[in-house]
Structure 1
């Protein structure tokens, strides 16, 4: 589908014609370079793609108006206060008119796993919102121990992004211009290394 889109923060009425997946035409998309630099390479920025689903009977139903992405504030946006992407999400969440009588599943695809400063806030968020579950798929994992265990113990599901999750982000959150997703060299080795790292953090009781 080809639609008129502005750039990030631009005027959607005056933007060039770009290819947008039909399910995503109502919202902004991340450019290819940003996705590759942060989800493939180890840039020290955090980008967080999120989606919300609600349980309607057995299946989870997408709440498409709450699918988007966030990034850290402050490092190269000096007009904004410094704020990690995870905390930007927590600031945004209360503005959504979600029905507390229903169950919601939040899924994050994040370039780096949550840092020690963000984990306590996420743990508190999960304690206060029993109608919400959280799944986190990280492209890279910070090598610290107890914070991620605390997050797991609070009910969050933690995993490393596999090729399937990268593909899903490409199809859903990236302005791919119709280009197919292609794995990068040593992608599977990186995924295996990060999976081992996360497994060691979460389950190695000697640490």
Structure 2
């Protein structure tokens, strides 16, 4: 991408990303990136494998990869500030945080709220939402679902979400994304258009959305969020790109 007409911050972000993209690796399990606020990865879990055949006993549980879907109530503030920052060049932000609100149309039950976190080594947070958060899906109910995500869906996730929304017409989904994931790629654009065609609302997060997400989904200890210098300008940049894709 050409840098003409973009703020100095973006050019610096790009230069930094180019210098570091070959050396940045996923943190080893249990490490914490203090400088960038990234939360430590989840601990490894074990899964049993049914290897019984010819009367043999099942084999011992196999060790799964260390990075799994994490589900919780509130996000670590350091992780939020790093992962949701709407910079154009997002080197090192190798996971997706998905904050969700679900209204099942039953006022007495209130809203279902929480967040999911992935490491892009297995199932993504978008797919996991439908298998972990809507386990008791009822076709008789009307679901209003809102996501605040650190980046927009990849092409594979966009296709899967579109399939779910076509099959479950009683689910209305709005996706507010801090950044657009690889928005220049044709397959990404095709995926976002297909998702939009299902009636899914797609929008880039505004400065007020960041503050709302901070207050609603982050362990903020009642401290306000101090937005970064170019938050509004970066929002306008991404929103313009999204509008061009969806037109």
Shorter-chain TM-score: what band?
Answer: 0.7 to 0.9
Distance 1:74 1:139, change over 3 A: closer
199, 218, 233: which one pairs with 1:174?
A: 218
- Determine whether 1:138 maps to 2:177: yes
Measure, in 2, the Cα distance between the counterparts of 1:202 and 1:28: 32
1:157-168 aligned at under 5 Å gives the runs: 157-168=201-212
SS of 1:118's equivalent?
A: helix
SS of 1:199's equivalent?
A: helix
Q: Count residues in correspondence.
A: 170
How far the C-alpha of 1:90 sits from its partner, in A, is 2.0
Structure 1 vs Structure 2 CA RMSD? 2.3
SS of 1:150's equivalent?
A: helix
Q: Which residue of 1 aligns with 2:17?
A: none
SS of 1:52's equivalent?
A: strand
Q: Which residue of 1 aligns with 2:74?
A: 29
Contact residue 135 and residue 157 of structure 1 kept, 8 A: yes
SS of 2:194's equivalent?
A: helix
Distance 1:102 1:196, change over 3 A: same
Going by fraction, where is strand more abundant, 1 or 2?
1
TM-score (normalizing by structure 2): 0.63
Measure, in 1, the Cα distance between the counterparts of 2:207 and 2:109: 22
72, 95, 105: which one pairs with 1:55?
A: 105
SS of 2:147's equivalent?
A: strand
Distance 1:61 1:161, change over 3 A: farther
Contact residue 95 and residue 120 of structure 2 kept, 8 A: no
Measure, in 2, the Cα distance between the counterparts of 1:8 and 1:84: 15
SS of 1:95's equivalent?
A: coil
TM-score (normalizing by structure 1): 0.75
Higher RCO (C-alpha 8 Å, min separation 6) = 1
75, 89, 101: which one pairs with 2:129?
A: 89
Structure 1 runs of 4+ aligned residues shifted over 4 Å read: 7-10
How far the C-alpha of 1:163 sits from its partner, in A, is 1.3
Indicate the structure (1 or 2) with the bigger Cα radius of gyration. Answer: 2
Which residues of structure 1 form unaligned runs of 5+?
1-6, 11-26, 76-81
